[in-house]
Structure 1
Amino acid sequence: MHVLVATPSGGLGQGGIDRLMGALKLQLERQDSADIDVRFIATRGPGHVGLSVFYTLGFCLRMFAARIAGRADVIHINVASMGSTYRKLVIARCARLLGIPYVLHLHGAEYRSFWNGDGGFLDRRIQSMFEHASRVVVLGRVWRDFIAGRAPGAAGNIVIVPNATETPLLAHIGGGDSIHILFLGRIGERKGVPQLCDALANMKSVGHWRATIAGDGEVEETRARLTELGLTDRVQLPGWVGPDEVAALIASADILALPSFAENLPVSVIEGMASGLAVVTTPVGAVEDIVTNEQNGLLVPPGDVAALTKALTRLVEDPALRTRLGDAARAVHRERLEIAPFAMALQRVWRDASIGNRLEARS
Structure 2
Amino acid sequence: MKKVIYFGNKTSGFQSTKTTLETLEPLLSEIVDIKSYSHKKNKLLRLLHMITGFLRNAYTADYIIIDVYSSTALRYAEIIGYLSRVFNKNYILVLHGGNLPKVYGKLEQRINRLFNGARHIVAPSHYLKSFFESKGFTVQLIPNVIQLEQYPYLKRDKVRPKILALRGFKPTYNPMMTVKAVEILKKRRIFPELRLLANSDEEHYGEVLNYIKDNKLQDCITVLPKQDKLIWIQESKNFDIMVSNPLIDNTPVSLLEGMALGMCVITTNVGGVPFLVKDNEEVLYVESNDSMGLADRISEVVADNILASGLSARGRKKAEEYDWQNVKNKWIKVFS
- The TM-score with structure 2 as length reference comes to 0.89
Q: CA RMSD in A?
A: 2.4
Where does residue 354 of structure 1 map in the other structure? none
Identity of aligned residues (%): 20
Using a 3 Å threshold, how does the CA distance of structure 1 residues 166 and 52 change in structure 2: closer, same or farther? same
**Does the Cα contact within 8 Å between 1:23 and 1:339 map onto a contact in 2?**
no
Amino acid at match of 1:198: K
**Does the Cα contact within 8 Å between 1:103 and 1:350 map onto a contact in 2?**
no
Residue among 231, 234, 252 paired with 1:266: 252
- How many equivalent pairs are there? 330
Amino acid at match of 2:47: V
Where does residue 82 of structure 1 map in the other structure? 71
Where does residue 159 of structure 1 map in the other structure? 140
Alpha-carbon distance in structure 1 between the residues aligned to 2:44 and 2:77 = 15
Give, in angstroms, the shift of residue 178 of structure 1: 5.2
**Does the Cα contact within 8 Å between 2:161 and 2:298 map onto a contact in 1?**
no
1:276-318 CA-partner distances (Å, limit 9, x unpaired): 1111002222212231111111011111222111101112233
Give, in angstroms, the shift of residue 131 of structure 1: 1.5
Alignment of 1:95-134 (within 5 A): 95-117=84-106, 122-134=107-119
Q: Does 1:346 align with 2:331?
A: yes
**Does the Cα contact within 8 Å between 1:199 and 1:308 map onto a contact in 2?**
yes
Alpha-carbon distance in structure 2 between the residues aligned to 1:264 and 1:206 = 35
Using a 3 Å threshold, how does the CA distance of structure 1 residues 345 and 10 change in structure 2: closer, same or farther? farther
Give, in angstroms, the shift of residue 230 of structure 1: 2.0
**Does the Cα contact within 8 Å between 2:152 and 2:260 map onto a contact in 1?**
no
Using a 3 Å threshold, how does the CA distance of structure 1 residues 199 and 63 change in structure 2: closer, same or farther? same
Q: Which runs of 5+ in 2 are unaligned?
A: none
Residue among 202, 206, 219 paired with 2:189: 206
Alpha-carbon distance in structure 2 between the residues aligned to 1:101 and 1:11 = 28
**Does the Cα contact within 8 Å between 2:24 and 2:145 map onto a contact in 1?**
no
Give, in angstroms, the shift of residue 180 of structure 1: 1.9
Q: Which runs of 5+ in 1 are unaligned?
A: 352-363
Give, in angstroms, the shift of residue 11 of structure 1: 7.4
Using a 3 Å threshold, how does the CA distance of structure 1 residues 132 and 170 change in structure 2: closer, same or farther? closer
Using a 3 Å threshold, how does the CA distance of structure 1 residues 178 and 310 change in structure 2: closer, same or farther? closer
Using a 3 Å threshold, how does the CA distance of structure 1 residues 140 and 98 change in structure 2: closer, same or farther? same
Where does residue 8 of structure 1 map in the other structure? 9
Where does residue 282 of structure 1 map in the other structure? 268
Give, in angstroms, the shift of residue 10 of structure 1: 7.4
Where does residue 36 of structure 2 map in the other structure? 40
Using a 3 Å threshold, how does the CA distance of structure 1 residues 147 and 186 change in structure 2: closer, same or farther? farther
Give, in angstroms, the shift of residue 170 of structure 1: 5.5
Give, in angstroms, the shift of residue 168 of structure 1: 4.6
